[in-house]
Chain A
């Protein structure tokens, strides 16, 4: 997308089309000739994996929507009919439900990669913020989708989450009623949740397009955190180099995805969601899907509901402020020894919060959740700005070429 196109149309039709809509050269420049730094490691394959998962979720989702009924008395049974009476229905449903988990697994690795290698730093701030927006829309989509099977956890998760909005002063209750379309989670809620669950993935596609556009303007970052200086020496064309590497990574990821789908399809689910929604019976423990657990722990760690909700949203939004919280000139964590420790402590905090989110919020669990919640924000608000100013970083290689030569030939 930068500079003159490397594509020269050969056939008559291609020449004709090129003068009217240069779509072939666009695709060629973006996915064939596009220069990728040659020092990328496998952490850089998750963008491709995520693109694959997005398409997979949309395809399985559209077919499932053809058989699903968003009506409270029929929804639960319609899902079981998909499992029993629709050809390949069980495969579609398990692939879609586990696909959501795999999508989140991949996005968490993708985000963790960005956090470690400073992918949010100048000039990639907009690229990063678009990523945070995608993550938030993904969370909304995942939550809405979890409600559709209309099991006990679906219903009570919807109740708990929509209830959060009632914590807002003055307008809270009206907003909740407006969201639900009723005074409680019911048929109106299920209908709109289905409509939105179908809509949001296409909004994600649109934001992903912007995300990829921004990526192609700035170029990819890389594990050494130094910008490309010599395109000829330091980059390789996307095809075949990145295509094959991404292809292999997707293949390996699919092995895991297939294992989950075909052999442990209910491992990440909750048995209560195979009980039809019942507004009169509250499950003993209401637990969200695993990918929401750290945020759920933060929400429950704070005694005031309103502040809990604010902390919940802040814990995600704060990611968007990263470019201005971590101002260290050194991008890659590989050359930042103290940052590295802080990074792993932060990852451990997130995993710990995840475990606590699955446990009852009482006693020792609650207090540890409070400490970890404090640390979660402390990492962003104090440790990162402090390190930016005071950390003694290691010398950064002069160029990608120098970094690669310094390592010798490797076949990672």
Chain B
């Protein structure tokens, strides 16, 4: 043995020693790993410039039976249209999407009227000119800025990200062992992005005295480094709801986040509906195969 392993030459002794020593080393390493894994998140939270963990919210679209709340999506769209759309594009969303099942489900006429209230660039026409025309339901939402440079020039250097998949592009670390449960039936938690965004929208606070916020930036406890380029976008009463929902920052934040979650994944509801059917079928199918297998093997000792 020792000949094949130069590392062991250093510790001659009984034959058992290298094995036992290495096991002990392993056990120590695993124990240390477990300790680090459990204590690190707590230790990190203590640092004052670290962002806070987003709060968890109830979402109608969470879980196995999750469905979007039509009223909420309509309110959220109103918030997007009247507030967010000034700076944030939503370039993957077409007007027609708003009429699809599982979403805000606007009527055909509402979609057509909405599209008609927008102008989009088109061209070139027969004379080679680019021109503006009234949007059609098949068009996608025109962006507020022509390009990134135009946005940065207008927003004192900041670039408001496109909102089409933003909910899926954001999240936060759940740490050990939380992340293990997030994927399990009964515990599943997939709304990290939505919780992050809604928390962020409500996360503007007065900066502590020892914390310097540069000009053009704002203090937000959920943002990395606690500095954010976006001014607080929402204020109580800024958007008028016509369905009696409270006109508060909390409500606006939740509604617009739900809307963004739908935009990020318009197929979520059909995915979950079809998924239930698929899994039910597979459980029955696998069960039948199991009993058939049992029957076939019943006459063989194995």
Binding site for B on A (CB under 8 A): 38-40, 77, 80, 83-84, 90-91, 94, 236, 240-241, 244-245, 247-248, 251-252, 254-255, 258-268, 271-272, 274-275, 284, 338, 341-342, 345, 348-349, 352, 355-356, 364-365, 368, 371-372, 375, 378, 381-383, 385-387, 389-390, 404-405, 408-412
Contacts and interface: CB of A to CB of B under 8 A. Distances in A.
B283 A255 contact: yes
23 contacts: A40-B302, A80-B165, A241-B296, A244-B289, A244-B293, A245-B297, A251-B282, A258-B278, A259-B279, A262-B271, A263-B64, A267-B183, A271-B171, A272-B169, A284-B224, A356-B33, A365-B36, A372-B26, A372-B33, A383-B19, A386-B1, A409-B301, A411-B297
A261 B183 CA distance: 11
B15 A368 contact: no
Given A272-B169, A275-B169, A368 B32 contact: yes
B26 A259 contact: no
A365 B36 CA distance: 8
A254 B19 contact: no
Interface string B248-287: 0000000000000000111100011011101100110110
Contacts of B146: none
Which label, helix, strand, loop or mixed, suits the secondary structure of the B interface? helix
Given A255-B282, A263-B64, A411-B297, A91 B274 contact: yes
A411 B297 CA distance: 8
A267 B168 CA distance: 11
A264 B188 contact: yes
B36 to A, nearest CB: 5
Given A375-B26, A381-B5, A38 B266 contact: no
Contact of A348 (B26, B188, B274, B302): B26
Given A40-B302, A84-B97, A409-B301, 6 more contacts: A84-B267, A271-B193, A348-B26, A381-B4, A382-B4, A404-B302
B8 A382 contact: yes
Contacts of B265: 83, 90
Interface in B169-204: 169-171, 176, 182-183, 185, 188, 190, 192-193
A332 to B, nearest CB: 16
B37 to A, nearest CB: 7
B267 A349 contact: no
A262 B278 contact: yes
Interface residues of B, number: 64
Interface in B148-165: 161, 164-165
Contact of B279 (A255, A274, A345): A255
Contact of B190 (A38, A264, A272, A284): A264
Contact of B22 (A348, A383, A389): A383
B22 A378 contact: yes
B19 A386 contact: yes
Given A80-B164, A247-B293, A251-B282, A38 B267 contact: no
A264 B183 contact: yes
Contact of A390 (B1, B4, B170): B1
CB-CB nearest 5 A-B residue pairs: A262-B275, A251-B286, A274-B169, A248-B289, A271-B171
